[in-house]
Structure formats: C-alpha cells, structure tokens
C-alpha cells in the first residue's frame, strides 16, 4: 500500500508538507510530491483539504479454498517427554472449539519417543 497524490486534484496548498513526520513530501511544480522517504504512515491523508492524497490499496485474490482446511490442531510443547502445563489447557479449549465447529481435535507432538505423551494427549480430549 502506497500513499499517492492525485495530481489533477492537488491544489498545491502545502498543508501536507509540514504534517509529514518524515519530511517525505515536497512541492514540485505547485503540486505535492511524495518522495522515497515516505513510510506510508498516512499522516498527510487527513490534512489534505481536497482529498488529493490517498492510500492505494492492493486487491488481494486468495487462490485457496478454505473449505479444504479442516480440524483444530493444538501444538503440544514438550520438554524431555513431559508436556508443558499450558498444553493441557490448550487441549481443553481446543476440544471446546472443535466441538463447536463439528471438527476433529488433533494434538501435534514433535519429538522422539513421545508415545507415552501421545496417550496423555488422547486422554485430554484429542481425536488424533
């Protein structure tokens, strides 16, 4: 997203120049010009009396089908084969969310020799 000046609408009042905290606006040929120093903070947008300064927005096209994503996953942090206490709380909340959504709850455990911990995750409500 960039901040730009609509040259045809700019009246050259200079109100934006002093407002920019980064000194990124200059007057060129009686029109506001935004330099590379602009951080797109938008401070200049509200002060322009004619609305000549705008924030360009990019149209985002998401090329994924959210229906393909299913289930609720809870990452079970473990140290030395022992689950952190917060994992039990998260599994409980995950169970509530999964039930409300009509989805399965998965407990995700990363590590070696965690079979015993997997039993504990199932006991705390995970479906898989």
Report if residue 113 sits inside a domain.
Answer: yes
Residue 93: inside a domain: yes
63 part of a folded domain: no
Residue 32 lies in a domain: yes
pLDDT of residue 81: 83
Residue 62 lies in a domain: no
**34, 48, 51, 59 from 38: Cα distances, Å:** 7, 16, 18, 21
Say if residue 49 is in the same domain as residue 75.
no
How many domains does the structure of the chain reveal? Answer: 2
Examine the domain organization and report whether 44 and 6 are in the same domain: yes
Q: Are residues 17 and 50 in the same domain?
A: yes
State residue 71's pLDDT score: 94
pLDDT of residue 65: 80
> What does the pLDDT read at residue 61?
75
Q: Is residue 6 part of a domain?
A: yes
pLDDT of residue 24: 95
Residue 37 domain flag: yes
Query: Could you tell me the CATH number of the domain that includes residue 6?
Result: 3.30.70.20
Q: For residue 115, what pLDDT is reported?
A: 86
Range(s) of the domain holding residue 47: 2-56
Mean per-residue pLDDT pooled into runs of 10, the chain (128 residues): 91 94 94 94 94 87 79 92 90 96 94 88 93
pLDDT at res. 59: 77
């Amino acid at each position: 997203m960039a901040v730009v000046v609509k040259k045809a609408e700019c009246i050259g009042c200079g109100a934006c120049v002093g407002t920019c905290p980064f000194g990124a606006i200059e007057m060129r040929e009686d029109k506001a010009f935004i330099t590379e120093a602009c951080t797109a903070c938008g401070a200049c947008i509200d002060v322009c009396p004619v609305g000549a300064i705008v924030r360009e927005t990019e149209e985002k096209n998401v090329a994924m089908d959210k229906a393909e994503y299913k289930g609720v996953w809870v990452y079970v942090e473990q140290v030395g084969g022992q689950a952190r206490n917060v994992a039990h709380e998260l599994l409980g909340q995950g169970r509530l969310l999964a039930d409300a959504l009509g989805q399965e709850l998965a407990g995700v455990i990363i590590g070696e020799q965690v079979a015993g911990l997997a039993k504990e995750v199932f006991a705390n409500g995970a479906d898989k």
